[in-house]
Amino acid sequence: MATDEWKGVINQILYGLMFTPQLNDDTADQMATAMVERRYFGAGPDAYAYAIVQAGRYDGPLTDEIETPHGEAAFRDFLGRLGSRLEALRAS
């Protein structure tokens, strides 16, 4: 997956959080479940898991293309928790 492809997948996650006030564990759990069940997140859990790993390796900004109430650090922290939860669901 090219950089712009995984970043587009990350933007889907960010867009899904635009009206979410708190990026907490409950939100990560709900979003991971929706990814596994392909609700709202049609690319499938493998694409989101891959994009989250790539985002963690990326030195550039992740919140620069979509206006969001969440800052870069908060979003990166959330992606880490989302990735962990998504991996747990994929393994079960």
Q: CA torsion 4→35→65→56, rounded to 10°?
A: -70
Judged against a pLDDT cut of 70, whether residue 5 lies above it is answered with: yes
How many beta carbons lie within 10 A of that of residue 64, not counting itself? 11
Q: Break the chain into its structural domains and give their ranges.
A: 3-91
Judged against a pLDDT cut of 80, whether residue 3 lies above it is answered with: no
Two structure tokens written together for 11: 């933007």
In which residue are the tokens 């800052």 written?
A: 71
Q: Is the pTM value of this prediction over 0.85? A: yes
In which residue are the tokens 């994929």 written?
A: 90
In whole angstroms, what is the distance from residue 36 CA to residue 21 CA? 23
- Report pLDDT digits (tens) over 32-45: 999 999 998 889 99
pLDDT of residue 2: 59
- Report pLDDT digits (tens) over 17-71: 999 999 999 999 999 999 999 998 889 999 999 999 999 999 999 999 998 899 9
In whole angstroms, what is the distance from residue 6 CA to residue 57 CA? 12
**Mean pLDDT value across the chain:** 94
